[in-house]
Structure 1
Amino acid sequence: MENLINIQHLNYGFTQNKLILKNVSLSVPKGSIFGFLGANGAGKSTTMKVMLGNLPDENNSIEIFNKSLTSLYPDGFQKIGSLIDSPAFYDHLSGWDNLIVLSKLRGLPDSECERVLHLVDLWENRNVKMKKYSLGMKQRLAIAMTLLGSPELLILDEPVNGLDPNGMLEIRELLLKLNREQGITIFISSHLLQEVEKMVTHLAIISNGSIKFSGSVEELNSYYRHNRVRIGLNDPSVFIQYIPENYSPQIIDHQTIEITVQSREDIINLTKILVLKDAEIFEIRNSAGLEDWFMEITKN
């Protein structure tokens, strides 16, 4: 699979003794939604600022579109849309006029403003002044700004930060639509693991300036999932005796048994055993999600 972004052994800091980024390496496949995950202060924004040329990449550690940053920019900005930190707007202007200002600066036609407003579902609110926009609407307009000029790559720093659950859902659905329908590769940073887990295809986890994991969601599952499955059922103390020892069954609470499995067939076979014993099963789920893996990876 072709990579749109390649970072190899990136170090960055104000002095050699105070590095913010330490030997950061990751690859972002073309067409992916890549989650760059870490706690606040882990080094996410610094990495993205170096990627965009806001901070120097002195050792040429980064390639985007198979070009070093020194040869990519400034022309490369035509192929990249970015949103780092908080978006800036003219609050006394409408959403449409804010886009027009930016499109004029970039020499783009007014039709581009119309196109991106339809993409982010703000066409009906185009004439509303920015000061009346909700936080979610402002974030969608900010993403519309990054879409001017039909970029192939979006680099977004914490795009759902501060939004309510409905606003997060809107942004998530928008990013999925842009990826699936427009084929845009999306590099998104966040510390909101449960939200990002619902959309990413690949990810990297950064902690204290160092990459702890980088790869596909499937690779993360195979490396870090302990094949623990939780079964929700009534009266687990009655039915745990029917579960073979190789499943290592444990009662978690009054409605949950946790087991270890090696394959999907293990789950099928055990479900048959319990149902034949008249167990009332109401849920089967993985016991570990991205948040659990994140905590384990960053600890170790």
Structure 2
Amino acid sequence: MENIIRIQNLSFGFSKSKPVLKDISLSVPKGSIFGFLGANGAGKSTTMKMLIGSIPDEDNTIRIFEEKLSDLYPDGFHKIGSLIDTAAFYDHLSGWDNLLVISRLRNLPLSECERVLHLVGLWESRNMKMKRYSLGMKQRLAIAITLLGKPDLLILDEPVNGLDPNGMLEIRELLIKLNKEEGVTIFISSHLLQEIEKMITHLAIISHGEIRFAGSIKDLNEMYRYNRIKIGLNDAAVFINEIPESYSPKMLNETSIEVTAASREDITDLVKKLILKDAAIFEVKNSAGLEEWFMEITKN
């Protein structure tokens, strides 16, 4: 599989005594929505600033489109849209005029402004002054600016931070649309795990400057597939006593029990045991999600 971004053994610190990034390696497949996940201060923003060249990669550990950053930039910016930190706008101008300023600096046609406003759903609001835009609208306009010139790669640092649930939904649906319909590869950082889980195909988890996991959602599912299993059944209080202590059974509510298991066979054996005791089982599923896996990975 072709990788749009490849980082190999990247280390960085603003001083020798305090490393921010410690031997980071990861690959971002073409066509993916890649989540770069970690707590505040884990090293996400520093990594992303190095990707766009605002912090130099002096050891040439980063490749984008299989090129060293020193060879890629400045021409490579035409293929990359980035949003790092908070976008700045002219509040006394309309959304259209703010977009026009950027497009003229880049010698892009007016049709590009129209295209990206339609993409982010702001065409009808284009003449509204920026001071009247909601936070979600401003974030969509910021993403519209990154889409000028039809980039192949978006690098977005915490694009849903500070948004209300409706704003988060708008941005999520927009990014999925760009990925599916426009074929844009998206590298997105976040510490809001429940939100990011709904859109990403691949991920890396960074903690204290170190990569703790890198791979696809499928890889993560396989790794933790049997870690925590929810069994839905009638009269859970009756049947929890039939589950061996080795499964660490825990009542979730009157119709569900959570267990841990080491393998598929362990789950099969337990389900058979419960059915032989006349348990009415209506659901068996993994009860852990990205948030739980994140806590487990970073804790260990």
Shorter chain as denominator, the TM-score bin is over 0.9
Return the alpha-carbon distance in structure 1 between the equivalents of residues 292 and 229 of structure 2: 13
Moved more, 24-33 or 231-240: 231-240
Q: After TM superposition, list the pairs within 5 Å mapping 1:141-220 onto structure 2.
A: 141-220=141-220
Say whether the 8 Å CA contact 2:239–2:274 is kept in structure 1.
no
CA distance in structure 1 between the partners assigned to 2:224 and 2:17 by the alignment = 32
TM-score (norm 2): 0.92
Distance, in Å, in 2 between the alignment partners of 1:153 and 1:246 is 50
Give the superposition deviation at 1:287. 2.0
2:121 match: secondary structure: coil
1:299 Cα deviation from its structure 2 partner: 1.2
1:127 alignment partner, SS class: coil
SS in 2 for 1:231: strand
- Name the residue aligned to 1:39: 39
Q: Deviations over 1:7-42 (max 9, x none)?
A: 011111122221111111110000000000000010
Query: Percent of counterpart pairs with the same letter?
Result: 67
Q: Partner amino acid for 2:148?
A: L
Please state how far the C-alpha of 1:273 moved relative to its aligned partner: 5.9
The answer to whether the 8 Å contact 1:234/1:254 transfers is no
RMSD: 2.4
My pick for the range that moved more, 10-19 or 270-279, is 270-279
- In 2: Cα distance, 1:253 partner to 1:271 partner: 21
For the 8 Å contact 1:35–1:189, the answer to whether it is kept is yes
In 2, the alpha carbon distance for the partners of 1:13 and 1:221 equals 33
The change in CA–CA distance for 1:175 and 1:267 in structure 2 (over 3 A counts) is farther
* Counterpart residue type for residue 10 of structure 1: L
Return the letter of the residue paired with 2:5: I
CA deviation after TM superposition for structure 1 residue 267, in Å: 6.5
Indicate if the aligned counterparts of 2:156 and 2:188 stay in contact, CA closer than 8 A. Answer: yes
Is this contact kept in 2: 1:249–1:260, CA < 8 A? yes
Q: Which whole-Å CA distance do the structure 1 matches of 2:20 and 2:227 have between them?
A: 35
User: Quick one: distance in 2 between partners of 1:175 and 1:264?
Assistant: 39
Are residue 297 (structure 1) and residue 297 (structure 2) matched? yes
Structure 2 match to 1:93: 93
For structure 1, the residue ranges without an aligned partner over 5 or more in a row are none
CA offset digits 1:160-211 (Å, max 9, x no partner)? 0000111111100000000000000000000001111111111000111111
String of CA shifts for 1:240-279, please: whole Å, max 9, x gaps: 4666x59936132442212346449957993996599363
* 1:284, distance to aligned residue in structure 2 (A): 4.4
TM-score scaled by structure 1? 0.92
Amino acid at match of 1:221: N
